[in-house]
């Protein structure tokens, strides 16, 4: 099947162009595109409004291939963590979180991460390759089949494994496909602060929402836990964010992982409010998800400290959400994805 074109990860216009030479009339190519994009088809056999002979011919020339699901772990809060195996054997994880009639899918963009944030298991495990558009879109397609029929609205967040803005070429193609089903207003790309990637995102004619991992209000502490900040300092990051084009009513989301006795004081909250206050902003306060194996010295603050931190930000006039991560009991919470099968007892 190496010489067979995979149609997953291609926008409808590209599918149309690929299929048109192999069907008798143009509208047949549009039917195929709609089956893939709108109906999430997994085979040509499902496309029952096409003649059988045509379906069989297309199946010889093209494939509809998603990643393989190796494992699904279900949390006590009904979050679902998926372990996907890609065609070359690499593995990544994605998470589906249900909230009544809504769901959020957390997608990975790389098999590993070179950014190396010290509070993130993915970063501790090291770099991996970029995911291709079909591997990114395939995560969404699988999770949509699993729970999408039960929900009315899906949000997508690129907060899984990897740094999305170090994979802009493939991310851009994946966004072209995903935005045919999910409004860009419901898609968020999260970054550790990759300035060229932020500039790339700002130049797109239509953009998803931007989230920035902040985690400290000063350069010295931020670079201690986020080594990438040495290359892209806080001053330069905020200069870029002040130039970032925001549609009417949109904000930049700042993610702030709270670590006990490191960045969790009222003074830290006041400094954070001062730093982000001149930008249309929302702050997600995320109590650290601990990991005894990869960063045993880092601990989560008390509930009282978390609440106090959020209160200072709110009193400063900021839009604040304290985000107690879901899925921690199956290592599906923020910063816990590792892309490996779990060993029994660990």
Residue 255: CA count within 13 A, CB half-sphere = 22
Active site residues: 93, 334
Residues in contact with 231: Cβ distance below 8 Å, sequence separation at least 6, in sequence order: none
Secondary structure element (H or E) that encloses residue 209, with its range: strand 209-213
Q: What is the DSSP string of 58-118?
A: HHHHEE--PPEEEEEEE-TTS-EEEEEE-TTS-EEEEEEEEETTEEEEE--SBSS-SS--T
The pair of three-digit structure tokens given for residue 76, joined into one six-digit string: 């006590």
Q: Whose structure tokens read 């899984």?
A: 160
Expressed in angstroms, the distance from the first to the final Cα of the chain is 37
Q: Crossing angle of helices 303-315/266-276, nearest 10°?
A: 40
């Amino acid at each position: 099947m190496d010489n067979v074109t995979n149609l997953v990860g291609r926008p409808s216009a590209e599918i149309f162009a690929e299929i048109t030479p192999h069907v008798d009339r143009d509208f047949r190519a549009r039917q195929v595109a709609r089956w893939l994009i709108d109906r999430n088809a997994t085979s040509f056999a499902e496309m029952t409004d096409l003649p059988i002979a045509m379906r069989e011919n297309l199946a010889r020339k093209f494939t509809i291939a998603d990643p393989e699901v190796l494992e699904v772990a279900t949390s006590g809060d009904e979050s679902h963590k998926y372990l996907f195996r890609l065609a070359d054997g690499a593995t990544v994880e994605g998470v589906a979180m249900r909230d009544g009639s809504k769901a959020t899918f957390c997608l990975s963009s790389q098999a590993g991460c070179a950014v190396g944030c010290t509070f993130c298991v993915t970063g501790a495990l090291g770099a991996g390759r970029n995911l291709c558009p079909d591997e990114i879109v395939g995560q969404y397609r699988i999770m949509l089949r699993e729970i999408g029929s039960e929900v009315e609205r899906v949000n997508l967040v690129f907060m899984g494994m990897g740094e999305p803005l170090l994979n802009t070429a493939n991310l851009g193609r994946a966004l072209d496909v995903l935005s045919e089903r999910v409004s860009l207003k419901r898609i968020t790309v999260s970054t550790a602060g990759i300035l060229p990637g932020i500039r790339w995102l700002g130049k797109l004619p239509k953009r998803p929402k931007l989230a920035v991992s902040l985690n400290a209000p000063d350069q010295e502490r931020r670079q201690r836990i986020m080594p990438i900040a040495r290359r892209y300092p806080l001053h330069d990051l905020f200069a870029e964010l002040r130039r970032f084009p925001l549609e009417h009513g949109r904000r930049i989301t700042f993610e702030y992982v709270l670590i006990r006795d490191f960045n969790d004081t009222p003074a830290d909250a006041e400094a954070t409010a001062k730093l982000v206050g001149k930008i249309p902003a929302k702050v997600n306060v995320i109590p650290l998800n601990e990991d005894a194996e990869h960063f045993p010295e880092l601990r989560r603050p008390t509930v009282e400290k978390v609440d106090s931190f959020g209160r200072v930000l709110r009193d400063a006039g900021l839009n604040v959400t304290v985000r107690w991560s879901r899925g921690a009991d199956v290592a599906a919470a923020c910063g816990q994805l590792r892309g490996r099968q779990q060993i029994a007892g660990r």
